[in-house]
Chains A and B, each alone.
Chain A
Amino acid sequence: MRTSQRGRHAVAAGLAATALLATASCSGADTAATGGAPADAAKLKLTAETPAAKGHQDKANWLLEDEPDSLDLDTQGSSAGRVVLTNVCERLYQLKPDMTVKPFLAGKARTPDDRTLVLTVRDGVTFHDGSELTADDVLWSLERHADPDMEQADEFGNVRSMKKTGAREITIRFKAPDALFTKALAGDAGIVWNKEQVVAAGKEFGTPGQDDACSGPYTLGSWKSGDSLTIEAYDTYWGTKPLTDRVTFRWASDSALVNALKTGAADGAYAESPNTASALRGAKGIDQYYGPSTASLVLIPTARGGLKDPQIRRALSLAIDRTGIARSGFGGLVQPWATPVGSGAWGYEKQRFAAAQRELDDVAPASPTADDLAEAKRLVKSAGAPTDPVVIGTDSSQGRTVVANAVRAALQRIGLKGQIKTVPTAQFEEFYSDPGARADIDVLVGDWYISKADPMGFYDNGLSDSSNNWVGFKDKAYDKLVHRALGTLDDKRRADLTLDVQRRFSDAAVWIPLAQVPSALVIDDRMTGPPASQSYLYYPWAARLGLKKG
């Protein structure tokens, strides 16, 4: 199956944070709830980059929302591990801050035909143990990623063979053209490991106390399990040397994270939840940047109850107040949105995707007009106005509670009944993976992100046989279009097909989009440099961190 990696841990963890933050604000902390007005969601300005840093600094303290599970992203890929390791390990392709993808450790890449990719391994790159990066390392790494037990195995579904075809050349052949493969090589499927080091470490590879096996601008310094993790600038890095010599990572969640940033105990963090950023708005000494990300808030309907009927789904989409959700649930730091993927997914043909997103307002308006409501009521009537209440699955976090109530209000507005079912967060997570767990709900208040900057990384979720197509949407024309788009290497032509696919997905309301969730960088106001976009998961952001003044 095709990728579209879900990021529920990312946003979900953040959403859960809100309850504590709300309590913290009662006890006198200066948060958004007591301080400044919420941001205006419609005017939220997303920038991929921050101003370039000029000054060198010895060290910086960075916060993660959790301790990395492992620094072997093949066996355990969590975003905390990625945020660290992206500064240490390099990939065959690189995701740039503007979310475009360029060949990287593969200095050159050729596609002699649609089913062949020839990579030339970059010269003069050394691993942190001083040994030279070779084509053998690249091939071995690719084969490791493709192992069925490894996290990235699904990216290699179309690969027929991978061979070394020259001293510095790897040739990959495909069973079918694969438009997303090079994008996967900019993600975890493209990491190049030092074979010798990984083999020597064996099962312990990626655990505390082990060396990294990579070639990036930083090396892994120390990892004290349960305490902190430090990376240090690599003296003989083949590329540009970083401005910050040492970055120490610690982890904290909820209010502890906010407090650490507020008191200057930490210099910065990528806030995985808009609520963290919201709690820090207007805090002294802290800059905030919002960048494009692929993350979104969505409603995921199931095949149970009234929402099984596409007309009811369309009606709900028309009646829901997305602006209200953004303002009261997320301090205005998410944006009403008409597609299920955020603008960070637009790695090509940006203008066209942007225009198409705005056009979809007709099926997913930011705030419903009288016409929208009239049309929604007509749809409900034509569907036979079901009387059973729609069961809305949620956990008790603030953001999700607001969404659930907004859904109930929207249902009421169009003459339907809604009923909210709240479960603990740990149980909520099972809704995503276990059909049995979601047997009692009609719609899930969900969140999602994809790991590649291409909307086609998402729309395979609407395929007839996709395990994420809970509502049982079946459309042969849709399936055919998706497969065609995934096999179209030319960006322009793929964009044409994607827009068609997107329109069909929206018209059928397979999922109901609510808002895009930007990535948020909070950083000490003396510092600048790292990208604000979601590229921080795959781009060596710390290498650009430095002081504002030279």
Chain B
Amino acid sequence: MSLVSRVSRRLLGLLATLFAASFVIFAAVYAAPGDPAVFLAGGRDKLTPERLATVRAQYHLDEPLVVQYGRWLWDCVHFDLGRSFKYSDQVSDLVAARFPTTLQLVAYATVLFVVLGVGAGVLAAVKRSTWVDSAVVGGTTLAASVPSFVAAIALVSLFGVQLGWFPVTGSGEGFTGTLHHLTLPALSLALGALAIISRVTRQAMADAAASDHVEAARASGVPERDIIRRHVLRNALGPIVTMCGLVTAGMLAGTVVVETAFGISGIGSLLVGAINTHDFPVAQAVLLLMVTGYIVVTTLVDVVHPLLDPRVKGATS
């Protein structure tokens, strides 16, 4: 099968998944306890049954779920995500203003955990069964056992408040400003992933190193450095990339705790605020965006995987 047809099949699958996910999200947000009309009606002085009925009618909250979903989907495919109940602003504007921050945060965290995690994994694999190996495994396990909010608080109080090296709130301006502001948040996010990635790298490399052609290469006198780079690491890349992709995709949905701790207005804090205030249009849009992000990243990994590993390509065609 050609690359084009494989990608287009993936795209179709992606759309179908999105469609299903959008309905589940819509229904879930709709079913959440609490009445958005109470919030929309404004102050409690206005909470008369008549007033609530007017508000429900005005926002089509009195219609059956499927009709509401249809209306929402119709607007969505016309690139209209509606207006926020809480902020009077367009949902698309709200999301567009916050998404880059979250994306930068996740990208930064990804760079950190890939470089540090894969690096540590390679180190552990190369120095297998030495004290370096034990130190890497122990250190990363310790890092992974710290929840990101605890890491966030610890990092803020040490590097932000005590030492004053990094800003403690906001997302910064310009490239260096953003880098400076997002270092601690990205580090808190990346810490948890370090252990997984380094462990997967170490194992994948061990498996690759045990394969016959590596033994053969080693026997024919190829330098150890080349063996590791060309044979071991290359063959181990599949599982490593897959795991990195999955972790990154998961992060897209998991930044809220770190955003809160560092006072960053990203997509995560937008979502939590929207859920707390029954701001349906925003909650739906953000959740859909997160699901889309997840699906896109995992699809990308799927598409890239065979390119890295000829054996997988052979198996699927």
Bitwise, A248-271 to B at CB < 8 A (1) or not (0) is 001111111101101101100000
CB distance from A9 to the nearest CB of B (A): 10
Q: How far does the alpha carbon of A229 sit from the alpha carbon of B171 in the complex, in Å?
A: 14
Q: How far does the alpha carbon of A28 sit from the alpha carbon of B170 in the complex, in Å?
A: 22
Of B42, B89, B98, B169, the contact of A265 (CB 8 Å cutoff): B169
Q: How far does the alpha carbon of A66 sit from the alpha carbon of B274 in the complex, in Å?
A: 13
Bitwise, B259-296 to A at CB < 8 A (1) or not (0) is 01111011000100101100000000000000000000
For the complex, is B97 an interface residue (Cβ under 8 Å from A)?
Answer: yes
Of B38, B45, B169, B275, the contact of A252 (CB 8 Å cutoff): B169
Contact B265 A251 (CB under 8 A): yes
Contact B89 A207 (CB under 8 A): yes
Contact A29 B265 (CB under 8 A): no
Contact B263 A203 (CB under 8 A): no
For the complex, is B158 an interface residue (Cβ under 8 Å from A)?
Answer: yes
For the complex, is B7 an interface residue (Cβ under 8 Å from A)?
Answer: no
Residues of A within 8 A of B265 (CB): 67, 226-227, 251
Contact B101 A226 (CB under 8 A): yes
Residues of B within 8 A of A24 (CB): 153, 156-157
Check A427/B33 contact, CB under 8 A, given A207-B89, A225-B97, A256-B168: yes
Contact A76 B86 (CB under 8 A): yes
User: Which of B13-21, B159-167, B248-256 touches A?
Assistant: B159-167
Contact A265 B153 (CB under 8 A): no
Contact A255 B153 (CB under 8 A): yes
Residues of B within 8 A of A251 (CB): 263, 265
Check A226/B153 contact, CB under 8 A, given A259-B169, A426-B34: no
Residues of A within 8 A of B101 (CB): 226-227
Chain A 79-118 interface residues, beta-carbon cutoff 8 Å to B: none
Q: How far does the alpha carbon of A70 sit from the alpha carbon of B101 in the complex, in Å?
A: 21
Contact A6 B43 (CB under 8 A): yes
Of A5, A206, A228, A263, the contact of B160 (CB 8 Å cutoff): A263
Residues of B within 8 A of A37 (CB): none
Check A256/B88 contact, CB under 8 A, given A262-B161, A426-B276: no
CB distance from A302 to the nearest CB of B (A): 16
Of A2, A5, A70, A250, the contact of B88 (CB 8 Å cutoff): A70
Bitwise, A210-238 to B at CB < 8 A (1) or not (0) is 00000000000000111110000000000
Contact A154 B46 (CB under 8 A): yes
Residues of B within 8 A of A228 (CB): 170
Check A260/B263 contact, CB under 8 A, given A28-B158, A207-B88, A226-B101: yes
**Least CB separation from B41: chain A residue:** A433
Q: How far does the alpha carbon of A66 sit from the alpha carbon of B33 in the complex, in Å?
A: 24
Contact A203 B270 (CB under 8 A): no
CB distance from B279 to the nearest CB of A (A): 10
Contact B87 A69 (CB under 8 A): yes
Contact A432 B44 (CB under 8 A): yes
For the complex, is A430 an interface residue (Cβ under 8 Å from B)?
Answer: yes
For the complex, is A1 an interface residue (Cβ under 8 Å from B)?
Answer: yes
For the complex, is B243 an interface residue (Cβ under 8 Å from A)?
Answer: no
For the complex, is A305 an interface residue (Cβ under 8 Å from B)?
Answer: no
For the complex, is B93 an interface residue (Cβ under 8 Å from A)?
Answer: yes
Q: How far does the alpha carbon of A166 sit from the alpha carbon of B148 in the complex, in Å?
A: 65
Contact B45 A1 (CB under 8 A): yes
Residues of B within 8 A of A66 (CB): 273
Q: How far does the alpha carbon of A544 sit from the alpha carbon of B97 in the complex, in Å?
A: 32
For the complex, is B94 an interface residue (Cβ under 8 Å from A)?
Answer: yes
Residues of A within 8 A of B135 (CB): none
Residues of B within 8 A of A131 (CB): none
Q: How far does the alpha carbon of A142 sit from the alpha carbon of B40 in the complex, in Å?
A: 22
For the complex, is A72 an interface residue (Cβ under 8 Å from B)?
Answer: yes
Bitwise, B22-50 to A at CB < 8 A (1) or not (0) is 00000000000111001000111111000
Q: In this complex, which of A76, A251, A259, A434 has the most chain B Cβ atoms within 10 angstroms of its Cβ?
A: A259
For the complex, is A3 an interface residue (Cβ under 8 Å from B)?
Answer: yes
CB distance from B314 to the nearest CB of A (A): 47
Contact B157 A227 (CB under 8 A): no
Q: How far does the alpha carbon of A224 sit from the alpha carbon of B97 in the complex, in Å?
A: 8
CB distance from B233 to the nearest CB of A (A): 38
Contact A253 B260 (CB under 8 A): yes
Residues of B within 8 A of A263 (CB): 160-161, 164, 167-168
Check A225/B157 contact, CB under 8 A, given A207-B87, A256-B168, A259-B168: no
For the complex, is A464 an interface residue (Cβ under 8 Å from B)?
Answer: no
Residues of B within 8 A of A427 (CB): 33-34
For the complex, is B154 an interface residue (Cβ under 8 Å from A)?
Answer: yes
Q: How far does the alpha carbon of A5 sit from the alpha carbon of B33 in the complex, in Å?
A: 25
Residues of A within 8 A of B169 (CB): 250, 252, 256-257, 259-260, 265-266
Contact B157 A28 (CB under 8 A): yes
Residues of B within 8 A of A69 (CB): 86-88
Q: How far does the alpha carbon of A252 sit from the alpha carbon of B170 in the complex, in Å?
A: 8
For the complex, is A328 an interface residue (Cβ under 8 Å from B)?
Answer: no
Residues of A within 8 A of B170 (CB): 227-228, 250, 252, 260, 265
- Having A1-B45, A227-B171, A256-B262, one finds 7 other A-B pairs with CB under 8 Å, namely A24-B156, A66-B273, A153-B46, A225-B89, A225-B94, A263-B164, A266-B169
CB-defined A-B contacts under 8 Å, sample of 20: A1-B45, A5-B43, A6-B43, A28-B157, A28-B158, A66-B273, A67-B265, A72-B88, A76-B87, A153-B46, A154-B45, A207-B87, A226-B98, A226-B101, A253-B260, A256-B168, A259-B160, A259-B168, A263-B168, A432-B44
Spell out A's residues near B (CB within 8 Å).
1-3, 5-6, 20, 23-24, 27-29, 66-67, 69-70, 72, 75-77, 151, 153-154, 203-204, 206-208, 224-228, 250-257, 259-260, 262-263, 265-266, 425-427, 430, 432-434, 467-468
